[in-house]
């Protein structure tokens, strides 16, 4: 499919309804997230406030103004301190698959991660999520681990893959 025209920019608070709507549309329909209950807007706002300049959230916007995808950098294992690595998440609007949104967002976010001085970016992907595996492999991420049977969703057991992209070392993370 042809890449859709879109612009990428930093997320704003008034994007959170659309960001959350896209995320929640996968909660019930897909094992791509282990979550089984929709995220509230209040929790999404808290999440957004935790995304400082060093942990950006980007959105993809169509010329019509519709938010068609988002991606974020988060601390990798937030209870630990691994300041040189960040975790990437990416979600494109259902019905807009395979039109270049995920790729554009992850490419922009990885350049942001390099600019911010991180050494690598990790994607945590359900082991049933072949689309995401292809997306990250396509962008140079390599498999760095497979943890099996971590969660049950709709009666099926799923694990996760870790995929990692090494970035050129720049400065200390901001
Ligand atoms: C994974 C996801 C972000 C891909 O977004 P997308 O906008 O459809 O991706 P793109 O159109 O940019 O596709 C980029 C690459 O991903 C892979 N891909 C995407 N959809 C695919 C599919 N249905 N089957 C196989 N590969 C697929 C391909 O390698 C594709 O490159 P190509 O089209 O040049 O072959 C989207 O399916 C999604 O939001 N899934 C739910 C959330 C999720 O799984 N996130 C990843 C973990 S955080």
Q: Let me know if residue 78 belongs to a domain.
A: yes
Query: In percent, how much of the chain has pLDDT > 90?
Result: 88
Dist. CA 31–CA 154, nearest whole Å: 8
Q: Name the domain count of the chain.
A: 1
Instruction: Give the distance (Å) from ligand 1 centre to CA of residue 90.
Output: 9
Instruction: Give the distance (Å) from ligand 1 centre to CA of residue 60.
Output: 14
Say if residue 1's pLDDT is above 90: no
Segment holding 41, helix H or strand E? helix 41-50
Say if residue 174's pLDDT is above 60: no
Q: Let me know if residue 172 belongs to a domain.
A: no
- Give the tens place of pLDDT for each residue, 150-161: 999 999 999 999
Question: Within 79-153, where are the H helices?
Answer: 101-115, 130-138
Q: Residue 144 belongs to a domain with what CATH number? A: 3.40.630.30
Cβ atoms of 143 and 125 within 8 Å: the answer is no
Q: What is the pLDDT of residue 69?
A: 98
Q: How confident is the model at residue 4 (pLDDT cuts 50, 70, 90)?
A: confident
Range of the domain at 123: 7-166
Q: How does DSSP classify residue 13?
A: G
Q: Let me know if residue 171 belongs to a domain.
A: no
Instruction: Give the distance (Å) from ligand 1 centre to CA of residue 174.
Output: 30
0.75 cut: is pTM over it? yes
- Give the tens place of pLDDT for each residue, 115-137: 999 999 999 999 999 999 999 99
Q: Which of 131, 136, 143, 164 to mutate to test the pocket of ligand 1 (most atoms within 8 A of CB)?
A: 131
Q: Let me know if residue 174 belongs to a domain.
A: no
């Amino acid at each position: 499919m042809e890449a859709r025209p879109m612009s990428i920019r930093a997320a704003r608070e008034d994007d959170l309804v659309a960001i959350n709507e896209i995320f929640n549309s996968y909660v019930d329909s897909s094992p791509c997230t282990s979550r089984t209950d929709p995220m509230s807007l209040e929790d999404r706002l808290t999440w957004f406030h935790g995304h400082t300049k060093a942990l950006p959230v980007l959105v993809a916007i169509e010329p019509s103004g519709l938010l068609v995808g988002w991606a974020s950098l988060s601390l990798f294992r937030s209870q630990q301190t691994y300041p040189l690595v960040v975790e990437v998440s990416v979600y494109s609007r259902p019905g807009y698959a395979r039109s270049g949104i995920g790729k554009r967002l992850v490419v922009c976010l990885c350049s942001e991660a390099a600019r911010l001085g991180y050494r690598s970016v990790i994607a945590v992907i359900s082991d049933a999520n072949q689309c995401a595996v292809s997306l990250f492999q396509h962008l140079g991420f390599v498999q760095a681990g497979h943890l099996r049977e971590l969660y049950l969703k709709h009666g099926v057991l799923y694990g996760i893959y870790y995929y990692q992209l090494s970035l050129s070392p720049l400065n200390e993370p901001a």
